[in-house]
Chain A
Amino acid sequence: MTLDALRAAHPGFEGEVRVLVHGGTCGHAVGVAPHGGFLRQSAGDACAEAACDGACWAAPAATVLRPGHSHRFARLDETGVEPLLTCLAGSCDARADDRGEREHRGGLMSRLGRTDGTLAGALAAGAYEAAARALAMAPAEVIDAVEAMELTGRGGAHFPTGQKWCFATGGEPPVLVVNAEEGEPGVFKDRHMLEGDPHRVIEGMLIAAHATGATDACVYINGQARRARAAFEHALAEAAEAGILGGDALGAAVALTIEVRSGAGGYVCGEETVILNSIEGQRPVPRFKPPQITEAGLFGRPTLLNNVETLAAATLLFDPPAAPPKLVPLSGAVARPGLYEVAVDGQATWGSLLEAARGGAHAPPGVGSLLVGGPSGVFVAAEQFDEPLEMAALGAGGLVALAPGGEANVTLELARYNARESCGECTPCREGTVRLVELLEAPSLDRPKLDELIDVITEASLCQLGGMAGRPIASALATFPQAFSNGAAGAAE
């Protein structure tokens, strides 16, 4: 079978005009259902549910798609559905928001929340084109192409993906494990991808499996991300049914079995060896290395572990963007929190990113600083906003914009988070993170003790989550020393 035949077998929506109601976690959290119900009554078959398209701020929202015209109607709760119905009727209000059009030109987010969630919809929007081409190539050529696009691990460590795949070849075929835990606050890119474009993730997995010889895979989805899991499992079932998994629907036979597993949650469950323990049914604690998981990982087998976004980005290998794309979940004190795709081209700055999210009427008083990388992250002060973005500095990508003066409070909250989320395996993290909170809660800050404690937690912890537990505190102390003159608790009051 060929991709064309596959498309023919899965015809999508055939009408001219389509209304996509953005459900997903974002839409349902703010009550999109009644609006969707109303639209379904009005538009009938032309109305379908899609996931969030990354404009989380816009929810509840719906998009009208017609040839040459894409128009998202944001905040249906405020504006009502009248303007949308007007647009649907053919006379579009020029003042309506049209950002949707600009944000969806190519790249990782091109299909995100833009299809009706079916395989047919995804195929119509270009899904599995890259996989079909990759499967026709020799594995080594695929790896070369991934190396050429300079793809790096989007889980935050930014290890070259091509190199990682290359290590996985040669010996016993690896088991592919996909990290979709994304447990840290402020990061929601993988969840969006699984909800809004699950076929891109499956496509990336097929490419990785073809490149490395993996024949089985396990996707570890955050136990609380129920919609993401449901959407992915639905896509998985459709792909299997269509012969994309285990058949030759893409022109070449692939034998990849994909299982989905979920843990019971916890920040530490995003650490790669914890994922393996959790899948195996062990207590979710990290393993020490060596052995590296590429030698002995899941059930002792050689293991290739990639982030959802990394695999999604791998689908761009035949048409790589000029600058490496990065999904950036941005939240906090901005008018338009949501998922942004940033070209890390040396031109983009923290400021330009914030500008995109600033928004008109909803603009908050201003952003004092950015927290980059969540509970293991660092603070970027306003003075640094015109510095260019670098991939390594972005980590997993989570950005939280903070109003001026909120740093001490956030620092304390992060310390509490790290203490709460410590798995308890190693002494420095288990015992030390609690003492960090105590020192920050103390009426006056004992800097020498705090510095020493951060030092021992950083140096002696078993895994990187413990090792980086003191990082935001150290960053806050260095960036906003005046905010801690009376201790974190004092400043927060």
Chain B
Amino acid sequence: MAKITLNGAEIEVDEGRQLVEVLKEQGVAITNLCYIDGLEPYAGCRTCLVNIEGAPGPPGIQLSCTSRTVDGMTVDTETPAVKQARQQVISLIDANHPDRCLTCHRRVHCMPGDICLRDDVVSHRCLTCAKNYRCELQIANEMLDMGEFDEPWVGEERSYYETAPPEPDRANPYLEFDPQMCIICTRCVRACADIRHTDAITLAGKGFQTRIAFGTGGAVHESDCDFCGACIDVCPTATLMEKPNKWVGRADEWVSSVCNSCSVGCTLAYGTAGGRPVIVRPDRINPVSREQICVRGRFGYTAVPERDRLTRSLARRGNNLLPVPAEEAVADAARMLTAVRREHGSDAIAVLGSPLATNEEAYLLARLAREALGTQHIDFSHGAVHRAVTAAFRDGLGSERLPASLTDVEQTQTIVVVGGDIEQSHQVISLRVKDAVVKRGAKLVLVSSRWGELVPFATAWLQPSPGHEAATVQALARALSDDPALAGQPPAGVDGDALATATETVQAISSNGEDAAGFAVVFAPDAVSSQRASDQARASANLAIAARGDEAASSLHYLPTDANVHGVADMGVAPGDGARSFAEIIAAAQAGEVRALVIHGDNPLLNAPGSDDTRTALESLDALVVIDSVRSTAGEHADVVLAELPFFARTGTLTNADRRVVRSFAAAGPRGEERPGIEILSALANALGGIFRYDGAADVTADIAEHVAGYVPFLQVASGRTRVLEAEGVAGTTRLQPVAAAGADAEPGAGLTVLTGRSLFTSWEGASIRSEQADQLHREESAVINPRDAEAAGVRDGDEIVLSDGRHELRIAARFDDGVAPGSVYVPHYYDAGAVMALFPLDGGTAAPRVQVRALQPA
């Protein structure tokens, strides 16, 4: 501890801390325009000047960001000399920055900034800045009484306004870059490089011509930018801002919520205005994501334009789905379901839940199925994949509730990532893996059949032929243990040198593998083949066991594709004993055995393999009831569609990949006749003769706490810290398991193996309604094909191509990239409303679809 005198008061602080952080903690108002909490100081803005005596270095005016606390130092932040020095520096920044927000003679009328005169052209100095009263430079000016301080270096006639500002970049849907507002604090450069490890932003030019530049200086969307928005969060001015709602981004209130676009479950703070979200900031509650989110979290709420949302319930009248009052729709649904039950029995009814819904909704849906409809045929479209994984974990590790915590990943010394491209599917976990590599010098072994942004961070990238992922992981496990259960063939496609490097890397853990920080396997199965997921899960568990023995469960991280897979399964959205799984429900519907289907928030046409089968199944039903916030492609086949609030407008809990329960509060009110899922499900259950009496989500959570092991009432959820795990822990029950041999490689000429996966920029809901805007950046609208294969098929880069498996044809643009191995082609899962899913078999078998590629003949 160090005793320091701060503005005359003696305080005790930790020795050696950045003084500026101490000042902020002590509530001292200090201008600091370039410092980012937690990073090394940059010392460029020179605005955090304070007077320091009694410290190493010359006494006098010093920067507080580069100074560290030492015992006996005296710090003064408010002496006239200090204040004047800060004023002088700020005035230099002001001289090249718009200052209308400070000098407008009507600015007092703007206070507190929630109205703005820009709509009312009465003054030549009307505001032209979207960050009014959110701007750190503006606050710094006010803090230093700059209003009374002469603008000392330039007169009106030579001021900022006399020169043409550089052109803003408004060409992408997410981020607006307006360099005229930039004060070259470089926070964005450092956030992008040091926090996100993306390095998309740089400084160009020198001296007064210094500018922030993306990539090589072109448009933002042509750079490596992932639009995570970390730069927006740190930008002190209006230089980098969200494009959606830029001009209304000043929030009335902030609501703590959760992102449901992947299983990381990043906590979001929605800023709302007028009852709708207008801005998103990371909410620090989730200890894995903390102050970082990705493009889906930040902009997901804008993915579906308001006009495309379902604001009224629909019922089939003749051949048309027409808007009807909500009560009428519920009554219709109940009548049809009752009729099916009466005529064909409960077994003719099935229910599909959504891995994107809250625990509360899933719980009510499961109750609706079992109590009100009397059916055990309940599942969700990825259910089989999840159950394959959990079965593998139960067999190998004794439990599916693994105690491994993703918070450990960034501290881990050796990490093996098994899966597709987690940079795209689970970006914040990818970020924590990069943190471990960059900040801790961790070694990363990547098992993925295609290139991803993690590859440059990897010590070894093992690129197996599609289908040989499990065999590859098994080969790594063999390097650590000679147990006969691990015997198997060498993985196909994997480069020998890379495998040798990877083997050495995992073998080196014997020195550091004693604790959880030593080793981690991060496993992210794709949600297409349950058999493949099962093999990969078994191999991953084997690798963890070979490395950590009885502590394996503490080192194995499972990342389901969708947000609430764990929670939905825990709530009972899974077929009862002997009941039908998703694939069996579809098959039974095709056979006429299942006659009615209730779908809540899922779209099996988008989410599940075998979409041809699903489509004919949906078409042959007597009754299809869909509860959704959008008019999905599945909803088009419905008899009744009940309008639900969008996810960000609902309250409830999610159980994320870490089995952490996170709470999400509604960030918007209803429009039209939208209702929370809980209300809709209760109303439907009650119309079917049930007695559901819930007063809001918390009421349901209380019920869950009573009936589902590990869950607690809503108010007792320490959001982000409550984890649903085994009461006893699972150490000591490990068992190595054999993995099925991968199928032989196909004959030459059999076509290309189709790969798919979750892509970063596509919205689930947008894809579900086949929206043109589902991929606003248009980055995911092409098939990635190895140039070798493409050239053999006579295809040029950018050509429209046709992928054909004999029964289906998929039209898509080709993008050459040797990041996919020869012999395979990658098609984004959400492209064209999940068109690629038609190529995969409904039953989730390992047989990967093969397609012939040809260029689309010009018409």
Chain A residues packing against B (C-beta within 8 Å): 266, 268, 283, 288, 419-428, 430-435, 438-439, 449, 452-453, 455-456, 459-462
Contact = CB atoms under 8 A, between A and B. Distances in A.
User: What are the 10 tightest A-B residue pairs by CB atom distance, in nearest-first order?
Assistant: A424-B210, A422-B207, A435-B153, A456-B88, A431-B92, A288-B43, A460-B46, A434-B208, A426-B44, A424-B206
Contact of A438 (B88, B89, B154): B154
B661 to A, nearest CB: 43
A459 B92 CA distance: 14
A482 B248 CA distance: 56
Contacts of B85: 456, 459-460
B348 interface: no
Given A288-B66, A438-B158, A452-B88, A424 B184 contact: yes
Contacts of B46: 426-428, 460-462
Interface in B36-95: 41, 43-47, 49, 61, 63, 66, 85, 88-89, 92-93, 95
Nearest to A466: B46
A419 B207 contact: yes
Contact of A453 (B41, B153, B203, B210): B153
B43 A426 contact: yes
Contacts, number: 92
Contact of A426 (B45, B153, B205): B45
Contact of A430 (B63, B152, B158, B184): B184
A453 B44 contact: no
A91 to B, nearest CB: 58
Contacts of B158: 438
Contacts of A420: 207
Given A431-B95, A462-B43, 6 more contacts: A268-B206, A283-B203, A424-B206, A427-B45, A430-B208, A449-B152
B776 interface: no
Interface of B: 41, 43-47, 49, 61, 63, 66, 85, 88-89, 92-93, 95-96, 152-154, 158, 183-184, 202-203, 205-210
Contacts of A462: 43-44, 46
Most-contacted residue by chain A among B46, B47, B63, B152 (CB, 10 A): B46
Contacts of B44: 425-427, 462
Contacts of B183: 427
Given A424-B184, A462-B44, A431 B96 contact: yes
A177 B94 CA distance: 39
B95 A427 contact: no
Given A288-B66, A438-B153, A462-B43, A456 B207 contact: no
A426 B66 CA distance: 14
Given A288-B66, A452-B152, A460-B46, A427 B89 contact: yes
B152 A424 contact: no
A452 B88 CA distance: 8
Contacts of A452: 88, 152
Contacts of A435: 92, 95, 153-154
A460 B49 contact: yes
A460 B89 contact: yes
Contacts of B92: 427-428, 431-432, 435, 456
Given A438-B153, A438-B158, A460-B49, A424 B205 contact: yes
A119 B183 CA distance: 53
A15 B89 CA distance: 67
A464 B126 CA distance: 40
A423 B203 CA distance: 11
Nearest to B60: A459
24 contacts: A419-B208, A422-B208, A423-B207, A423-B210, A424-B206, A424-B210, A426-B44, A426-B46, A427-B47, A427-B89, A427-B92, A430-B210, A431-B92, A431-B93, A431-B95, A431-B96, A434-B207, A435-B153, A452-B88, A452-B152, A453-B152, A455-B88, A460-B46, A460-B49
B207 A430 contact: yes
A420 B208 CA distance: 8
Contacts of A430: 184, 207-208, 210
Contacts of B152: 449, 452-453
A297 to B, nearest CB: 16
Nearest to B57: A290
Given A426-B44, A438-B153, A462-B44, A421 B207 contact: yes
Contact of A439 (B49, B61, B153, B206): B153
A423 B206 contact: yes
Contact of A427 (B66, B93, B203): B93
A459 B66 CA distance: 15
Contacts of A456: 85, 88-89, 92
Contact of A424 (B43, B47, B154, B209): B209
A422 B49 contact: no
Most buried by B among A268, A430, A432, A459: A430
B84 to A, nearest CB: 9
A268 B207 CA distance: 10
Contacts of B207: 419-424, 430, 433-434
Given A438-B158, A456-B92, A460-B89, A433 B208 contact: yes
A158 B153 CA distance: 35
A424 to B, nearest CB: 3
Nearest to A456: B88
Nearest to B210: A424
A428 B95 CA distance: 12
Contacts of B205: 424
Nearest to A429: B207
A459 B210 contact: no
Contacts of B89: 427-428, 456, 460
B45 A449 contact: no
Nearest to A266: B206
A460 B81 CA distance: 13
A457 to B, nearest CB: 9
A422 B206 contact: yes
Nearest to B96: A431
Contacts of A421: 206-207
A426 B43 CA distance: 7
A421 B41 CA distance: 24
A236 B89 CA distance: 47
A438 B47 CA distance: 23
Contacts of A453: 88, 152-153
Contacts of B153: 432, 435, 438-439, 449, 453
Contacts of A423: 206-207, 210
A315 to B, nearest CB: 35
A455 B183 CA distance: 21
Contacts of B43: 288, 426, 462
A453 B95 CA distance: 13
Contacts of B47: 427
A425 B183 CA distance: 11
Contacts of A422: 206-208
Among A420, A422, A427, the most chain B Cβ lie within 10 Å of the Cβ of A427
A66 B46 CA distance: 62
B676 to A, nearest CB: 51
Nearest to A268: B206
A431 B152 CA distance: 13
B88 to A, nearest CB: 4
Nearest to A287: B43
Contacts of B63: 288
A461 B92 CA distance: 12
A288 B44 CA distance: 9
Contacts of A283: 202-203
B342 to A, nearest CB: 76
Contacts of A460: 46, 49, 61, 85, 88-89
A456 B41 CA distance: 21
Nearest to B86: A460
Contacts of A426: 43-46
Q: Which of B43, B46, B207, B208 counts the most chain A CB atoms within 10 A?
A: B207
Contacts of A459: 61, 85
Given A428-B46, A428-B92, A456-B92, A288 B210 contact: no
